[in-house]
Structure 1
Amino acid sequence: MRFIDEVYELYKGHFNGDEEDITAVVVGVLHEQDRDALLGLAEEMDEEELFHMMATYMIEVMKRKVAMEDEQFPAVNLH
């Protein structure tokens, strides 16, 4: 995706391989976009990119839901 390539080129000297650095840059860049701009980015994606984005999003949301449920109702060890 062209947008990701542009963001990477702009910030590549700031990345040290730490996931927190990448997360901070991505969240900061996305925070500056409005809804229409975000939808425009999605419209530019080919089918595979859109599928991967949606799959990644859904997997992360499911993980958070499972983690929240585990915090509310910890598994009881019956042994």
Structure 2
Amino acid sequence: MRFIDEVYELYKGHFNGAEEDITAIVVGILDEQSREDLLDLIDEMDGEELFHMLATYMIEVMKRKVAMEEEHSPSTMTH
């Protein structure tokens, strides 16, 4: 995706490999975008990019839901 390539080139000196740095930069950039800007980015994606974006999003949401459920349900194991 061209947008990601441009962001990477702009910030590559700021990345130290830590996921937190990448997350902070990406969230900061996306936070500045309007809904229309975000939809334009999606519109530029080819089918494979769109698939991977949605798959990654859905996997992460499912992981969070499972973790939240496990955190709030009583343990079925007895000690």
* TM-score > 0.5 by shorter chain: yes
* Equivalent position SS for 2:36: helix
Letter in structure 2 aligned against 1:13: G
Runs of at least 5 residues in structure 1 that lack an aligned partner in the other structure: none
5 Å-filtered alignment, 1:1-79, equals 1-78=1-78
Letter in structure 2 aligned against 1:4: I
Q: Give me the TM-score of the superposition, normalised by structure 1.
A: 0.95
Q: Give how far 1:76 is off.
A: 1.6
Give the paired residue count.
79
Q: Give me the TM-score of the superposition, normalised by structure 2.
A: 0.95
Runs of at least 5 residues in structure 2 that lack an aligned partner in the other structure: none
In 2, Cα distance between the equivalents of 1:74 and 1:35? 40
